[in-house]
Chains A and B, each alone.
Chain A
Amino acid sequence: MSSLTNHTIETPNERQNRHKAMEAIKVLNTLREGFKTPPNAMEYFYNLFEEVYCNQKALHCDKVKVGTMCIQIPSEIIYALDGVPIRLCNGFYADDEIGSDLLPQKACPLVKASVGHLASKNVIDKPDMIYSPTTCDQKTKAGSIIESFGYEVVDVAFPRTKESEISREYFRRSIREFSADLSSKMGKKLSRKNLKAAISKIGYAQSLYHKLSEFRKNRAVPILGNDMFLVTNAFFFDKIDNWIAACEKLVSELEQRVQNAVHVAGKVSPRIVYTGSPPIFPNYKVPLIIEDSDAIIVADETCSSNRMFNDRVAVDEWFVNDMIDSLADKYLKACTCPVFTKNDDRIRRIIELVRSHNADGVIYQAFAGCTVYELEQRSVLEAMEREGISILYIESDYSPSQQGQLSTRVEAFVESLKIKNRNKK
Chain B
Amino acid sequence: MKRKIQNFINNINLLKVRFWIQLTTFILFVYGGYFAIDFGSKLPMFTCPYNTQSAGTCYLLPLQHQLAMPAQILLGGAGIGVLIGLLTFVFWFIFLNKAWCGYACPIGTFQDWLTGLRKTLGIRYSTYTQNQFEKLSKIKYILLAIVILVPLLIGVGAIGNDWSAAFCKICPARMISPMFSGDFSQWVIDFSTTTAIVLTALGMIFSALFLVGSFVKKRFFCFFCPMSALHFIFSKFAIVQLRKDGSKCTKCGDCYSVCDMQIKDIADDVTSTNILRDDCILCLKCVAACPEDDVLHFDILNFKAFSSTKEGFEKRMGMEKPKGAFDE
Contact = CB atoms under 8 A, between A and B. Distances in A.
A and B co-occur in one complex? yes
Interface of A: 79-80, 82, 163, 165, 169, 194, 196-201, 203-204, 206-207, 210, 241, 310-317, 319, 321-322, 325-326, 329-330, 333-334, 336, 345, 348-349, 351-352, 355-356
Interface in B307-327: 310, 313-314, 317-322, 324-327
B240 interface: no
Interface in B234-281: 246-258, 260, 264, 267-268, 270
A322 B260 CA distance: 13
In the A-B complex, list the 9 residue pairs whose CB atoms are closest, starting with the nearest: A203-B319, A314-B254, A329-B253, A334-B252, A314-B289, A311-B252, A316-B258, A165-B130, A326-B257
B2 interface: no
Contacts of B65: none
A108 B289 CA distance: 38
A345 B251 contact: yes
A79 B257 contact: no
Contact of A314 (B246, B258, B310): B258
Contacts of A194: 326-327
A63 to B, nearest CB: 11
Contact of B125 (A314, A315, A317, A355): A317
24 contacts: A82-B326, A197-B325, A198-B326, A207-B319, A241-B325, A311-B250, A312-B319, A313-B317, A314-B254, A314-B257, A314-B258, A314-B289, A314-B317, A315-B257, A316-B260, A317-B119, A321-B124, A325-B257, A330-B254, A345-B250, A345-B251, A348-B247, A348-B249, A352-B248
Given A312-B313, A315-B257, A316-B285, A197 B326 contact: yes
B317 A312 contact: yes
B291 interface: yes
Nearest to A348: B247
Contact of B322 (A169, A197, A317, A321): A197
B327 A82 contact: yes
Contacts of B257: 314-316, 322, 325-326, 329
A200 B253 CA distance: 17
A334 B268 CA distance: 10
B252 A200 contact: no
B127 to A, nearest CB: 9
Contacts of B254: 312-314, 326, 329-330
Given A200-B318, A314-B317, A348-B249, 9 more contacts: A200-B317, A201-B326, A203-B314, A207-B319, A311-B291, A313-B254, A317-B119, A349-B250, A356-B248
- Interface size, B (range): 35 or more
Contacts of A310: 250
A312 B252 contact: yes
Contact of B251 (A207, A334, A355): A334
Tell me what chain A mostly uses at the interface: helix, strand, loop, or mixed: helix
Interface in B55-85: none
B286 to A, nearest CB: 9
Contacts of B247: 348, 351-352, 355
B313 A314 contact: yes
Contacts of B246: 348
Contact of B250 (A207, A315, A334): A334
Contacts of A317: 119, 124-125
B124 A334 contact: no
B327 A200 contact: no
A313 B257 CA distance: 9
Contacts of A201: 322, 326
Nearest to A82: B327
Contacts of A311: 250, 252, 291
Nearest to B257: A326
Contacts of A169: 129
Contacts of A199: 319
A349 B252 CA distance: 12
B252 A329 contact: yes
Contacts of B125: 317
A334 B248 CA distance: 12
B258 A315 contact: yes
Contact of A197 (B129, B248, B285, B324): B324
Nearest to B264: A165
A173 to B, nearest CB: 13
Contacts of A326: 253-254, 257
Contacts of A333: 251-253, 267
A204 B253 contact: no
A334 B246 CA distance: 13
Contacts of A314: 254-255, 257-258, 289-291, 313, 317
